[in-house]
Amino acid sequence: MRLSTLALGLAIAVSGQAAYAQTPRAQSPRALTPQAQASLDQASQDQGASVADVREAVGRIAFDPARFFPSPYVSDRSIVRITYTGDDYGWPVYAIAIAAGCVDGETVSKDQCAARLRARMVRAPAPEGMTRPRQRGVRLVSQLVERKATSPDQIRAALGQIGPEWVEADLQTCPGATEALKKSAEAAWVPDAVADPKPSAELSLVLHADIVKVEIQDQRRLTTYRGWLAEKSPAVWADGLATALDPCWRPASVPAPWQAAARK
């Protein structure tokens, strides 16, 4: 009788854990349903083995925020870099860089640019009926594969035809933008589970979440976060900053990263 009771207790515990493990995936607004994930997997297989290579290449060519504020003397003048990718696959959704002050090589007098605080963004086009950010990246990579654009030169040429958003904004004149930037200091850069670990019977899983990488650069200091949009995380802050900038984007005044790369 005691053995049966123990077995029953273990069965209840295991069943409870299994149900809890499924809960984050069902409730998370960033997760794909199993059916949607299966469709995405099948689409990747149908497009061929080059999908992963194209996805990685377009990320380097167009969605690297370290290339948004180049100058003749410093390869990257940005102080904030944000990269939003969808799902475990890393579908390129958007990338943002922010630079302060003057940038070498720009035809602006020093007294006119010293107080500048500007952002530039590349964002994959939104497909019709979009319900999730990651669908931008899925569609962009699909378009490149459909065009058989697999080499760097082919990808650059195809991007010129597809036309991802390449825009910039002035944070000083964009309502709420500088306030949103300041909130970076309020983000929880260290998870509570690390800063204050405590035993817990709860099982927490994050499956197929969108991932945000945030880098904040100050001379020789670099702060980096890479992870899902957890509550109070830098990922949530970064996505909020992108939302604040959204009404203020204008066509960029410099060539897009893939156009600049093509001239090298």
- The better pLDDT of the pair 104, 49 is held by 104
CB 115 within 8 A of CB 172: yes
Nearest-5° Cα angle at 59, 176 to 102:
45
Q: Is the dihedral of CA 54, 60, 64, 70 positive or negative?
A: negative
Pairing mode, strands 250-251 and 117-123:
unpaired
Residue 83: closest CA among 187, 213, 190 = 213
Task: Read off the pTM.
Answer: 0.78
DSSP symbol at 254: S
Could you read off the pLDDT of 150-204 as tens digits, one per residue? 999 999 999 999 999 999 999 999 999 999 999 999 999 998 888 888 887 777 7
Could you read off the pLDDT of 36-65 as tens digits, one per residue? 445 445 554 554 448 999 999 999 999 999
Q: Where are the alpha helices (DSSP H) in 188-254?
A: 192-195, 234-245
> Per-residue pLDDT for 252 more than 60?
yes
Pairing mode, strands 78-86 and 91-100:
antiparallel
Please report, for the chain, the start and end positions of each structural domain, with discontinuous segments joined by +: 2-262
Beta-ladder partners of 222: 217
> Per-residue pLDDT for 4 more than 90?
no
Alpha carbon distance 221, 210 (integer Å): 27
Chain centroid, CA 8 distance in Å? 45
> Per-residue pLDDT for 249 more than 50?
yes
Beta strand spans in 45-90 (E): 78-86
* 3-state SS class at 181: helix
Pairing mode, strands 165-170 and 91-100:
unpaired
Beta strand spans in 101-172 (E): 117-123, 165-170
Alpha carbon distance 245, 120 (integer Å): 10
> Per-residue pLDDT for 139 more than 60?
yes
